[in-house]
Amino acid sequence: MRQSNLLLTTLREVPSEAETISHQLLLRAGYIRQLAAGVYTYLPLGRRVLRKIETIVREEMDHSGTQEILMPSMQPAELWKESERYDVYGKELMTFKDRHEREFILGPTHEEVVTSLVRNEISSYRKLPVTVYQIQTKFRDERRPRSGLLRGREFLMKDAYSFDISLEGLDKSYLQMFDAYHQIFKRCGLNFRAVQADSGAIGGEGGSHEFMALADIGEDTIAVCSSCDYAANLEQAEAIQPIKKELNLELPVLEKFHTPNLRTINQLEQELEIQPEQIMKTLIYEGSGQFFAVVVRGDHEVNEIKVSKYIGAAEIGLADYDAVKSLTGVESGFVGPVGLQITVLVDAAVAEMIQGTTGAGEKDYHYRNVVPGRDFELEHVGDFRNVAEGEGCPHCEDGILHFEQGIEVGHVFKLGTKYSEKLEASFLDRSGKSQPMIMGCYGIGISRLLSAIVEQNHDDQGIMWPVALAPYQVHILMMSVKDSGQLAVAEELYNQLTKLGIETLLDDRDERAGVKFKDSSLIGIPVTLVVGKEAAQGRVEYLERTSAGKETLEIFEAVSHIQEFFSQLN
Amino acid sequence: MRQSNLLLTTLREVPSEAETISHQLLLRAGYIRQLAAGVYTYLPLGRRVLRKIETIVREEMDHSGTQEILMPSMQPAELWKESERYDVYGKELMTFKDRHEREFILGPTHEEVVTSLVRNEISSYRKLPVTVYQIQTKFRDERRPRSGLLRGREFLMKDAYSFDISLEGLDKSYLQMFDAYHQIFKRCGLNFRAVQADSGAIGGEGGSHEFMALADIGEDTIAVCSSCDYAANLEQAEAIQPIKKELNLELPVLEKFHTPNLRTINQLEQELEIQPEQIMKTLIYEGSGQFFAVVVRGDHEVNEIKVSKYIGAAEIGLADYDAVKSLTGVESGFVGPVGLQITVLVDAAVAEMIQGTTGAGEKDYHYRNVVPGRDFELEHVGDFRNVAEGEGCPHCEDGILHFEQGIEVGHVFKLGTKYSEKLEASFLDRSGKSQPMIMGCYGIGISRLLSAIVEQNHDDQGIMWPVALAPYQVHILMMSVKDSGQLAVAEELYNQLTKLGIETLLDDRDERAGVKFKDSSLIGIPVTLVVGKEAAQGRVEYLERTSAGKETLEIFEAVSHIQEFFSQLN
């Protein structure tokens, strides 16, 4: 491709709306343009990278025996009512009515459509298992679209769905997809981790893993073991269950004391000179129409996912000021578990405390010498908190957990029969008995991957594409298009490389050398050949985007040098 | 691919909702499934054919120097108001509001988006010309979706847009695309014609061609010359302009006569024993807020496109009963041009009549001996009718026009500055003067093509895919999966063919031979190998889908025989 013909405009200024590096660079280097909040056009360079990702995904999907289909974006709302997700998704669903006033949903995901498809196509165990996938545009009305392609409202996904006759079958389908995902992300040159995850609003029971691209700006925190290969989303990471202690009845009795205006753990810590781990923090939640308290240590955070699962609520939230006041008689800073008339969930780390300090349920007062099990009931004890950095690994003896930030680029779920039961996708088993199909679903954020890769592969000059995803492999910079010698050399190299199937971009613009170098670094093609003054002496300069050095090559050896570079990578 | 694993269910019954052959066959052979009216899922076989079409389109687009991009489906409604198409499209636009009550359109086409993109990217003549394309899902809320993929509400399109600095540049870009389209449809194995067309609601001025797949069920009528290569959409086909006659003033005078209840041409023809070509038919139209009359010969049809262009109205329609009555004093069956107080458009074929019969503007009366130019004005004479079969060709001396039916599969338009002016996409020319970019737009109905191909390639047993689009090249039918000899031969052939890169479907299902043959004919893969009883004697049967005969081959020569068949086609 000749750059003079390419629809490509680079920007010198950092666009003000772009906060993350990948968003800035993809805009500046002319890969994407915003049309509306969270809605992007892919310019030629961006489209090329997307297609490379699509090709890798297709190859690995096909290799795993998964069959490509294409389902519509327009989904009848009735299907979402059948699955009972219509209300769960709420405002994130983009919906519209057709000219006959029939309501449609712009698919954010396709469980309903694929389940209704397969229930009509397959009725016997003999046609199972089957796994299908599609690469397709999805829609989700994010409240706050941000970071460019990382959280958009219209985005490209690969979604796959497996249908099995048994849980063992699902395990196998899941593992096949899990392996394919490893392969895909590896081929994309991504630094990633597969972590245990919560299956969220989409999921049924059974397992779930997220594939996380490690990046400082990632919205997700991952707890990773320093010793074994345990890694889990913070939402999901298990806290070590402490050894159950004996109740010591000889401890000092409960003592109420005056703590004017000491409402936060911080204030208590500073004024009373006690450690946060000696404090019991009591929070009032609401979920599934009931109120309940959760008690965690002062240095711990409540994990709302774990709590909702225990309570059996789809969603929970902190109770508001009025509710707290009317339930406990006091504002939240002075609430404590002693004497509370609602269900109290006690985190295991609190249950194991000998004694501690809590709110007294009275303005400006706390209790000290509060003994769990003596001063309040230990009826609901469990893992209700986030793990903390430095804690022991729940899966091995030696490991210590540390945190990393990740961008979710893939997700595999064991759905079980959640959708097949609601949408009645069943099959006749060997004995002629009707059974619900056992499903899995598997997603990859194709467009998001593009941003994740840039987050991991850049320097202060611009993008540094992994070879497999680069829009072009080689960038030829002609220093002066008015120099007929340079022109001849550049054209010759361009033709030779192109003939060999090496995707080459030729900067044939009438621009200053500085502009060409700047643009080239910004765009981030792996190999650059500079055709400048030395071309007259039969020499060109060879640069690799990921290393600082440069080499001077004889023109006749340039092509073979490049071939060698790429062949070493395979 | 092993058929036992493939998500494929064939249907014996013709689905009641499917009227056209392609719709029936694509459903019966398991290529597509309907999700809602005009909204389809592509099953694995259908997706494979779509991808083959996509690949051919991409190769030819890339080859023509067109750059691939990807624009969003979500388009801000403001853009459509800027271009003034928001109201023109009316109910065919699918629109929705996001959570912030901002209105979006699900793109049926992308002129607005691409023009606003390019106006931001390009400001100088030095970066032009440029042509971009995308392959993308489009949405159009058809009032009556029908014929499966032929008229859907969600469909796959290739759309391209060119931007030039001059009309000569546009001509070149247009021609490049025109040639690429020829190449694409040829490679798809389509029987098609490029015809002159009207540019309709989308277009600006300048030329336009439609690429028509010839098929009896086509919704469009094409006038084709028997001698030269003239072909035009009926909307557009020019009638030969008759030689201007001299006005003969010695003709008999106008005579009113009683014609009780003779309102139609048919009734006049039968009761008065005159030929339709001796009658002048007068119709009252409304357009751009004015009423006017159009007079054509009794055997001709008014061409509303030609009339609207003459009048300069976006749309015209027949005036209603009340309007006709109040303008002419009589109901429409007795309206005539004599004495009419509104503008009268006279078709050239009427203007050349010596004399004829018309309504008299009075109930139950007609005039005979009506002489154009004597009895009514010939101020507005022109080509206001459809051509008729058997007429002479407007472009050569010898040819006669005949009609064919076509399915529009591609369309190329010269848009000119319609969008660039409204959306202010301008560039600085060599002299530093700001000029609107000159645009073209070019579409291919990718999913519709799939149906058009099936309309042209089937017999009463099923589909007969052209090799380039077939989902698989070879279909191996194993007659008995319980016969270990057959199994071994079939597997060996399957492995050999697959290794050679020949896409092969192996029917390894435990089904009767009759079922396998029926399914195979329905699915329509070009070559079938039957592994049956003779496998024990080292022989298989070879069939081509498009010919009735079959050959018995030695197993060892089967693969080379197949290779030869495919190599002959290239």
How far out from the chain centre does Cα B117 lie?
A: 28
pLDDT of residue A443: 98
Q: Report CA Rg, chain B.
A: 29
Query: Are residues A370 and A432 part of one domain?
Result: no
Domain that holds residue A185: 21-193+414-454
Which residues in chain B have their CB less than 8 angstroms from residue A155's CB?
A: none
Instruction: Examine residue A359 and state whether it is found in any structural domain, yes or no.
Output: yes
**Pick among B7, B54, B126, B165 to test the A interface (most A CBs inside 10 A):** B7
Which residues in chain B have their CB less than 8 angstroms from residue A99's CB?
A: 91, 141, 143
Separation of alpha carbons B348 and A385, rounded Å: 88
Q: What angle do CA A354, A355, A359 make, to 5 degrees?
A: 150
Instruction: Examine residue B553 and state whether it is found in any structural domain, yes or no.
Output: yes
| Cβ proximity of A389 and A401 under 8 Å | yes
pLDDT of residue A199: 54
pLDDT digits (tens, 9 = 90+) for B316-372: 999 999 999 999 989 888 999 999 999 999 999 999 999 999 999 999 999 999 999
Residue B205 has pLDDT above 60, yes or no: no
| Cβ proximity of A14 and A126 under 8 Å | no
State mean pLDDT over B144-148: 90
Residue B242 has pLDDT above 80, yes or no: no
Query: Are residues A549 and A431 part of one domain?
Result: no
State mean pLDDT over B245-269: 86
| Exposure string over B360-396, b if 16+ CB within 10 A, otherwise e | bbeeebbbbbbbbbbbbebebbbbbbbbbeebbbbbe
Query: Are residues A324 and A296 part of one domain?
Result: yes
Phi and psi for A208 in degrees, rounded to 5? Answer: -160, 135
Residue of A nearest to B70 (CA): A42
pLDDT digits (tens, 9 = 90+) for A377-427: 999 999 999 999 999 998 888 899 999 999 999 999 999 999 999 999 999
How far out from the chain centre does Cα A451 lie?
A: 12
Which residues in chain B have their CB less than 8 angstroms from residue A71's CB?
A: 35, 41-42
| pLDDT-derived band at A448, boundaries 50, 70, 90 | very high
pLDDT digits (tens, 9 = 90+) for B83-120: 999 988 888 999 999 999 999 999 999 999 999 999 99
Pick from A294, B25, B448: nearest CA to B11: B25
Q: Which of B98, B122, B127 sits opposite A141 (nearest CB)?
A: B98
Query: Are residues A35 and A184 part of one domain?
Result: yes
Tell if the CB–CB gap between B69 and A117 is shorter than 8 Å: no
Tell if the CB–CB gap between B35 and A94 is shorter than 8 Å: no
Residue of B nearest to A134 (CA): B47
| Cβ proximity of B9 and A122 under 8 Å | yes
Q: To the nearest whole number, what is the mean pLDDT of chain A?
A: 93
The residues near B555 (Cβ < 8 Å, ≥ 6 apart) are B489, B492, B493, B535, B538, B539, B540
Q: Which of B39, B65, B104 sits opposite A72 (nearest CB)?
A: B39
Tell if the CB–CB gap between A73 and B132 is shorter than 8 Å: no
Tell if the CB–CB gap between B7 and A130 is shorter than 8 Å: yes
Tell if the CB–CB gap between A51 and B68 is shorter than 8 Å: yes
Strand intervals (E) in B298-342: 316-318
Q: Which of A96, A113, A154 sits opposite B95 (nearest CB)?
A: A96
Rounded to 10°, the helix A484-499/A555-569 angle is 30
Instruction: Examine residue B314 and state whether it is found in any structural domain, yes or no.
Output: yes
Separation of alpha carbons B187 and B176, rounded Å: 17
CATH of the domain at B69: 3.30.930.10
Q: What SS3 class is residue A258?
A: strand
Pick from A455, A526, A436: nearest CA to A212: A455
Residue of A nearest to B510 (CA): A126
Residues in chain A: 570
| Cβ proximity of B29 and B523 under 8 Å | yes
Residue A247 has pLDDT above 90, yes or no: no
| Cβ proximity of B116 and B423 under 8 Å | yes
pLDDT of residue A312: 87
Residue B482 has pLDDT above 80, yes or no: yes
Q: Count CB atoms within 10 A of the CB of residue B490.
A: 25
Instruction: Examine residue B350 and state whether it is found in any structural domain, yes or no.
Output: yes
Which residues in chain B have their CB less than 8 angstroms from residue A4's CB?
A: 126-127
Tell if the CB–CB gap between A35 and B113 is shorter than 8 Å: yes
State mean pLDDT over B271-281: 91
Separation of alpha carbons A246 and A399, rounded Å: 27
Instruction: Examine residue B22 and state whether it is found in any structural domain, yes or no.
Output: no
Q: Which of B5, B47, B96 sits opposite A95 (nearest CB)?
A: B96
Query: Are residues B148 and B59 part of one domain?
Result: yes
A417–chain B nearest CA distance, Å: 20
The torsion region of residue B81 among left (phi > 0), alpha (psi -120 to 50) and beta comes to alpha
Instruction: Examine residue A220 and state whether it is found in any structural domain, yes or no.
Output: no
Instruction: Examine residue B397 and state whether it is found in any structural domain, yes or no.
Output: no
Query: Are residues A443 and A526 part of one domain?
Result: no
pLDDT of residue B314: 78
Q: Which of A31-40, A147-156, B225-234 has the lowest mean pLDDT?
A: B225-234
Query: Are residues A272 and A154 part of one domain?
Result: no
A268–chain B nearest CA distance, Å: 42
- What tokens appear for A260 in the block? 């004017």
pLDDT of residue B530: 97
Tell if the CB–CB gap between A47 and B33 is shorter than 8 Å: no
Tell if the CB–CB gap between A41 and B9 is shorter than 8 Å: no
CATH of the domain at A335: 3.90.960.10
Which amino acid makes up residue B359? G
Query: Are residues A168 and A33 part of one domain?
Result: yes
State mean pLDDT over A309-334: 90
| pLDDT-derived band at B204, boundaries 50, 70, 90 | very low
Tell if the CB–CB gap between B36 and A95 is shorter than 8 Å: no
pLDDT of residue A244: 67
pLDDT digits (tens, 9 = 90+) for A151-205: 999 999 999 999 999 999 999 999 999 999 999 999 999 999 999 876 554 444 5
**Pick among A40, A54, A67 to test the B interface (most B CBs inside 10 A):** A67
**Pick among B43, B101, B507, B519 to test the A interface (most A CBs inside 10 A):** B43
CATH of the domain at A541: 3.40.50.800
Separation of alpha carbons B42 and B34, rounded Å: 9
Q: Which of B9, B91, B137 sits opposite A99 (nearest CB)?
A: B91
- What residues are paired with A208 via a beta bridge? A413
% of chain A residues with pLDDT over 70: 98
Sign of CA dihedral A154, A156, A162, A163: positive
Which residues in chain A have their CB less than 8 angstroms from residue B130's CB?
A: 5, 7
pLDDT of residue A204: 47
The CA distances from residue B40 to A76, A119, A379, B155, in Å, are 12, 16, 54, 8
Instruction: Examine residue B246 and state whether it is found in any structural domain, yes or no.
Output: no
Separation of alpha carbons A437 and B61, rounded Å: 43
Query: Are residues B407 and B346 part of one domain?
Result: no
Query: Are residues B117 and B206 part of one domain?
Result: yes
Strand ranges across the sheet with B74-76: B74-76, B103-106, B94-97
Higher pLDDT, residue B169 or B240: B169
Separation of alpha carbons A109 and A332, rounded Å: 40
Residue of B nearest to A100 (CA): B143
| pLDDT-derived band at A72, boundaries 50, 70, 90 | very high
Separation of alpha carbons B74 and A235, rounded Å: 33
Pick from A543, A544, A528, A523: nearest CA to A490: A528
How far out from the chain centre does Cα B187 lie?
A: 18
Q: Per the structure, how many domains does chain A have? A: 3
State mean pLDDT over B499-515: 96
DSSP state of B190: -
- Three-state SS for A272-288 is HCCCHHHEEEEEEEEEC
Query: Are residues B413 and B505 part of one domain?
Result: no
DSSP state of A244: P
State mean pLDDT over B537-542: 96
pLDDT digits (tens, 9 = 90+) for A477-516: 999 999 999 999 999 999 999 999 999 999 999 999 999 9
| pLDDT-derived band at B131, boundaries 50, 70, 90 | very high
State mean pLDDT over A290-299: 95
Query: Are residues A499 and A449 part of one domain?
Result: no
| pLDDT-derived band at B203, boundaries 50, 70, 90 | very low
Tell if the CB–CB gap between A72 and B98 is shorter than 8 Å: no
Separation of alpha carbons B472 and B47, rounded Å: 12
- Three-state SS for B218-272 is CCEEEEEECCCCCEEECCCCCCCCCCCCCCCCCCCCCEEEECCCCCCHHHHHHHH
